[in-house]
Amino acid sequence: MTDELGADELDRTPAILSDIARFATSARRVVNRGHEAFTDPDDDDQRRIARSLIVDLSAAAGRLPESFREQHPEVDWRGIRAARKFIAHDYDGTDEEILWQAIAVQFPAIAAALLA
């Protein structure tokens, strides 16, 4: 049974990485719209998208096999989970600049490491 589970986990990895690549593309679109659009006090769409992408990234990272995560020690797996918990539990209080840095700097670095 363990061998079957291991094979199933390995079979899931490409699909999960594909999801992460899609999330990275969406994150790039948010960033390309610019910091001004992101911080517009009258339109929180970009911030909502960023929050959702960080939660989605965390969920996808959590589905990756442990063996895959061990092969990528350069990725801050705990940090990814912590960011999701912070956003989920402090939704309206999340600092816009921290969120911007997460989506503009950290998200692309994580995606690049995983998709290389």
For residue range 19-51, list pLDDT tens digits in order. 999 999 999 999 999 999 999 999 999 999 999
Q: What is the pLDDT of residue 3?
A: 44
Q: What is the pLDDT of residue 2?
A: 41
| pTM for this model (two decimals) | 0.84
Q: What is the pLDDT of residue 11?
A: 80
- Rounded CA gap, 52 and 71, in Å? 26
What percentage of the chain exceeds 70 in pLDDT? 88
Average pLDDT along the chain: 88
Residue 4 neighbours by CB distance under 10 Å: 8
- Rounded CA gap, 9 and 80, in Å? 20
- Rounded CA gap, 92 and 33, in Å? 22
pLDDT in tens, 66-88: 999 999 999 999 999 888 888 87
Q: What is the pLDDT of residue 23?
A: 96
Residue 95: strand, helix, or coil: coil
What percentage of the chain exceeds 90 in pLDDT? 71
Let me know: does 105 contact 82? Beta carbons within 8 Å: no
Going 29 to 33 to 35 to 39, the CA torsion angle's sign is: negative
**99 or 8, higher pLDDT:** 99
Q: What is the pLDDT of residue 116?
A: 81
- Write the DSSP string, 74-86: TS-HHHHHHHHHH
Between the alpha carbon of residue 83 and those of residues 20, 29, 37, 49, 58, the distances in Å are 16, 20, 22, 15, 8
